[in-house]
Structures are given as C-alpha cells and as structure tokens.
C-alpha cells in the first residue's frame, strides 16, 4: 500500500501551464511569522478566500501558502469547464431537491459573474468563452442517463437542445455518439491562465508563498502552521488544499483522492481541425462518470481526458497509450493521434458528492471535496469561506451551509478496496463511453 503524501507531487507539468509564458514563482519566505489569516492551498478556492478576506479587511495581513507553483497545481490541471449547474444532481439539503438545485444554480451564477468581473477588472487573458457544452452518449445505457438528466433540467428551468447521431456528427465530426444534447451552461477557460491571473492580481495585503509545503497544523490561540522551513501563527486558518487536508487532521473519514489524466495534441492545421467539426471550440462531457471528456480548444489543439487511479499516479507512458486509444476510437480519420502533452491531476471526492464546507473549529474554516467540478464551485465557495472568516453573513452563505454534508467513508484498507473496485466496475460498465 502506498503512503498518501502530504501534498501533491506530479510526474509532469500541467499541459495548460506548459503552453503559457514562463512565470516567476513567488517563493520568497515571508519576513514575519504572525498573520491575521493564513490560507493553505492556492488553487481557485484558496485564491478566492484570500482575496475576499483581504478585500473585507484591508489592514489584515494574509498569507496564502501552497506546496506547488500557481498554474501547475491541481486547479491548473483540469479540463477548463466552468459549469454553472449542479454536478451532483442527487445532492440534498434543507428543502426539496428542486429547491436545493435552484439554490446551487443561483450560487454558481453568482460565482460566475464574480469571476468575470475579476477577469475584466484585471484583464486576465484566459480564453473566456461562454460556448456551452455537449453531453453525448455512445451506448443505450448512456443515452438513458442523459435523458434522465434532461428531466431534471426541465424541473430546474434549464434550456437545452437534444441531438441525434447525424446532428452530433455534423457538430463534432464523429459518428461515435448516438445521442446527446447541448446546453449553454458552461464557460471555457484556459485553467492555468485563469489561476495565474487570479494569483497575480491579489490585493496588496495578501502575500503569496509558493513551493512551500505545509506539514502540520496545531490548533491553539493562535493556531500554528508548520511548513517545510518555517513555523507560522495566525488566529484564523482557511484550509483549501482539497484531499490533502486529511494529512492536517481534517475530513479523514469523509474525503478521498483520485488522479485523472489528460492529453493535448500539437496545434492542428485547418484541414485536421475541420475533421473535428466547424465550431472553433467545443467540449463533450461523457454520459458515464468514468467516460472520456473531449475539448476542441480555441487556438487549434484537441484535448482528451480519461482514465482514473486511486491514491497515486499511473505511469504516464501507460496513460498516454490509453488516451490515444480513446482519441483514435472517436476520430479514426485524423492523420495522427499523438498527444505530446500528457499529465495527471488529483481531485478530492466524497462518497455522496457533497462538499466539506464550513467552520470546523475556533478560527478554522474549510472547503474541500470538489468532486471533479471545482473551478466554479471552488471559486464561489472560497469566496463565501472568506466572508465567513470575516464574520459576514448572507443568504448565499446560509444556502451553502444548508447543503448536505459528506457521508462517512470506511478506513483503509477497506476504502482502497471499495474505491478500486468501483473504478474497475465503472470502467467495465462504461464500455465504449470510455
């Protein structure tokens, strides 16, 4: 059994980050050792929380610390979908499922508007494109899943367009899918460019410290944070390092981590791009939870995302071969299926899909367990967590605190057995959706 590390360590840089100009990481240690607030984790959640605390308390000294460098952490490794609909449609809370879903949609829309304001204000070049998204199925079981989701869309008042095989082939350039739909509830971004822009535009009273792992957190008055090279104190701590919060003593029986994988092609010429349909940018979400996500990226590349592993990364040579197989199965007509940029990314899941969010002690606040939909959700809940840490109250925060809590997970080795078995079963069940 492999030992879960305290912080993520990857075999390869994020492909998204590799495409960007070199950035000077802020690795200089802070000159002081006491802060008004320390935020652990500089992904979208931690960035939002640190920004909001600094905005509400301009005189506060805020430290944002991360083991990775911004853009190469988990928030810079996803597919770049900002989806403003509930990811887990079975999530419950106080009220009817329809009411809870509508509250989630309202929160995500608020978060999306907030992000767009920041992007416009700070002129963050992240390829913001509200092009919507496709959901597509290659099997009858997958089509049944999508049609079930559309019943919920109808209840929520969400517009969509159903598509058969011919329409999907015309739009996506592949005969692989038999049924699908398109909805406008998504914005595409270059994820590494977004998080880098958010980090580089933080308020002046936030100090960012990159490449510095947090090794332990001791609760007290004040709390003590020990990093690889320093001991720091603060009255308020925000924990936003997703599944690795377990190594700091939080959510050990609620959250687990899996690795997912993606690959990008080289820039494709116009003839090859036309084989992927006429739209300059689109994305496909699979009907099966362990299926393959696709994205035709503005600028001429193609992304394939698939494969999952528990607790640790798989060898990238094996991952590349699997991703190329997914690509070739859908687009055999392409001249090449090479994916020169391949990388893994870790995400935190809960058993029931609920977010681990709220105050967990005197001056201790947490938001983890993004369940694979963290870009928009993380930004909004990070913003709310920052407001909570400053004693703010709002209807949005009340709604967030009213959602279902994560359910219990069995200890190791039962957890590993259960998760690995589920991944194997879902792979088998997915069939050609993979």
pTM of the model: 0.95
Distance CA 357, CA 369 (A): 9
Distance separating alpha carbons of residues 272 and 392, to the nearest angstrom: 52
Task: Report CA-CA distances (Å) from 316 to 304, 309, 323, 330.
Answer: 14, 12, 10, 21
> Could you tell me the two tokens for 275?
């084989």
CA Rg, the chain, in Å? 21
Burial zone of 145 (CB within 10 Å; 0-12 exposed, 13-18 middle, 19+ buried) = middle
pLDDT at 250: 94
Whole-number pLDDT of residue 91? 43
pLDDT at 88: 55
Identify which of 386, 73, 356 has the alpha carbon closest to the alpha carbon of residue 212. 73
87 CB-side CA count, 13 A: 24
Domains of the chain, with CATH numbers?
15-80+192-255+351-421 (3.50.50.60)
Token output for 118: 């920041």
CB 136 within 8 A of CB 168: yes
**Contact 316/259 with Cβ under 8 angstroms?**
no
Omega prior to 349 cis, within 30 of 0: no
Look at strands 364-368 and 231-239 and give their pairing: parallel
Low-confidence ranges of the chain (pLDDT < 50): 1-2, 89-94
């Amino acid at each position: 059994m492999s030992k879960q590390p305290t912080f993520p360590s990857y075999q390869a840089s994020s492909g998204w980050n590799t495409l960007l100009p070199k950035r000077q990481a802020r690795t200089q240690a802070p000159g002081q050792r006491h802060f008004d607030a320390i935020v652990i984790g500089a992904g979208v959640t931690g960035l939002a929380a640190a920004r909001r605390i600094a905005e509400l308390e301009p005189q506060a000294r805020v430290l944002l610390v991360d083991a990775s460098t911004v853009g190469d952490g988990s928030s810079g490794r996803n597919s770049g979908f900002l989806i403003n609909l509930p990811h887990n449609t079975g999530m419950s809370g106080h009220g009817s499922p329809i009411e809870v879903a509508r509250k989630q949609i309202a929160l995500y829309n608020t978060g999306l508007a907030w992000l767009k304001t920041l992007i416009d204000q700070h002129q963050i070049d992240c390829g913001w494109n509200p092009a919507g998204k496709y959901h597509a199925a290659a099997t009858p079981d997958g089509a049944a899943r999508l049609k079930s989701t559309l019943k919920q869309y109808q209840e929520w008042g969400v517009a969509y367009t159903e598509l058969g095989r011919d329409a999907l082939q015309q739009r996506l350039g592949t005969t692989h899918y038999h049924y699908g739909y398109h909805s406008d509830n998504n914005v595409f971004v270059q994820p590494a460019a977004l998080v880098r822009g958010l980090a580089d535009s933080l308020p002046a009273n936030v100090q960012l410290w990159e490449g510095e792992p947090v090794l332990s957190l001791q609760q007290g008055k004040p709390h003590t944070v020990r990093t690889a090279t320093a001991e720091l104190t603060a009255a308020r701590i925000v924990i936003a390092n997703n599944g690795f919060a377990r190594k700091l003593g939080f959510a050990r029986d609620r959250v687990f981590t899996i690795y997912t994988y993606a690959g990008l092609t080289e820039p494709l010429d116009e003839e090859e791009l036309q084989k992927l349909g006429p739209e300059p940018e689109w994305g496909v979400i699979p009907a099966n939870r362990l299926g393959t996500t696709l994205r035709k990226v503005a600028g001429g590349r193609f992304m394939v995302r698939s494969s999952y592993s528990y607790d640790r990364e798989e060898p990238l040579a094996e991952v590349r071969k699997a991703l190329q197989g997914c690509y070739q199965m859908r687009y055999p007509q392409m001249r090449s299926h090479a994916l020169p940029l391949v990388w893994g990314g870790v995400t935190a899941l809960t058993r029931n899909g609920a977010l681990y969010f709220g105050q967990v002690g005197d001056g201790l606040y947490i938001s983890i367990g993004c369940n694979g939909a963290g870009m928009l959700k993380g930004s909004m809940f990070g913003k709310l967590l920052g407001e909570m840490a400053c004693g703010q109250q709002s209807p949005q925060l009340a709604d967030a605190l009213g959602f279902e809590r994560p359910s219990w997970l069995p200890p190791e080795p039962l957890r590993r057995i259960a998760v690995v078995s589920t991944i194997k079963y879902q792979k088998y069940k997915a069939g050609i959706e993979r």
